[in-house]
Amino acid sequence: MWIWISMALAASSLFLLFWWLGRPYAQATEAGRPQLAPPLRLLWPWVEAVALVCRPLMSWHLRLRLEHLLRQAGAQPCWTPHHLCAWQCVLAMLAMAVVALLLHRSLSPPALLFFTGLAAALAAAWPWQRLRERIRQRRQAMLREFPFMLDMITLCVEAGLNLHGALGQAAGNGPPGPLRDELRHMLSDIRAGASRQQALAQWAQRCGLAPLHHFVGAVAQAEQSGMNLGPVLRAQADQRRSERFLQAEKLALEAPVKMMFPLVFCIFPCSFLIIAFPIVSQFMELWK
């Protein structure tokens, strides 16, 4: 009789375990999920469940900092700071479980504890690294797009359009990319009731580019002093174009320096081995 009772309790425990694990996945909706890779998409319901626990534990300073980084990375609106912390927790727990499952028979408890902690730390650091890499790539793309878009705005202003119309033309006909998306976001803020200077400042803050901050400052100064925007924008466009050329020259000059390490430690030793092997073989034959 006790065997049947224990089997029933074990079955009930397994049922409750699978129900608890599958409840977040069943409650999750496709509309609230971001676009993720298929392996990570399966973890999103549990990320939402852990995010509810992480939300009250985060300070306002950390929340504002993470929100600023997410906006600079161009994250979807469903991404929030507590979702990022929840990703860290879920990936850390998953890494600890995988390492413990694979190495629990071959390692002692102290070594197993060390490797599980190391795996958890690396897994928790991966979302931060991915976020910073996304911000870096997005900034590089916007830096490539900004000189051409500034030329479009300058030509529209010199052709007789006002600044708002020139920004609209650049947003509608500019090259597709993150800078055009942020420009459209800025125009939607203006249509929602924000002042143009405030929307421009928020645009520069979201992008996080020094040239864009200089452009916004020059436009604000020209409007406050009553100057003509055409020469100001033309000077900004020429400066950004020259900076782009200088950056290309800098990267071209850095290429030989970056090639020194593989040349010295990879290519040269292999070349020396290929040249020296026949010579050494002949000397060994002569000595025999």
Q: Is the pLDDT of residue 15 over 50?
A: no
In this structure, what token pair is assigned to residue 43? 């973890």
Residue at token pair 């020469």: 231
- The per-residue DSSP string of 91-114 comes to HHHHHHHHHHHHHTTTS-HHHHHH
pLDDT band for position 16 (50/70/90)?
low
In this structure, what token pair is assigned to residue 10? 């074990």
Q: Is the pLDDT of residue 228 over 50?
A: yes
Q: Is the Cα torsion angle 68, 248, 183, 160 positive or negative in sign?
A: positive
Report the pLDDT value the prediction gives residue 34, as an integer from 0 to 100: 59
Q: Is the pLDDT of residue 118 over 60?
A: yes
Q: Is the pLDDT of residue 159 over 80?
A: yes
Report the pLDDT value the prediction gives residue 11, as an integer from 0 to 100: 47
In this structure, what token pair is assigned to residue 260? 């020194």
Asked if 58 contacts 81 with a C-beta cutoff of 8 angstroms, the reply is yes
What integer is the mean pLDDT of 238-263?
Answer: 78
Q: Which residues of 239-277 are buried (b: 16+ CB within 10 A; e: fewer)?
A: bbeeebeeeeeeeeeeeeeeeeeeeeeeeeeeeeeeeee
Structure confidence by residue, pLDDT tens digits, 198-226: 888 888 888 888 888 888 888 888 878 87
Does the pTM exceed 0.85?
A: no
The Cα 163–Cα 215 span in angstroms is 13
Report the pLDDT value the prediction gives residue 69, as an integer from 0 to 100: 82
The Cα 92–Cα 167 span in angstroms is 45
Q: Which helix (H) or strand (E) holds 263?
A: none
The backbone torsions φ and ψ at residue 246, rounded to the nearest 5 degrees and listed phi first, read -65, -40
The Cα 170–Cα 164 span in angstroms is 10
Report the pLDDT value the prediction gives residue 31, as an integer from 0 to 100: 47
The Cα 83–Cα 72 span in angstroms is 16
Report the pLDDT value the prediction gives residue 50, as an integer from 0 to 100: 79
What integer is the mean pLDDT of 92-111?
Answer: 81
Report the pLDDT value the prediction gives residue 109, as an integer from 0 to 100: 79
What integer is the mean pLDDT of 228-241?
Answer: 80
pLDDT band for position 273 (50/70/90)?
confident
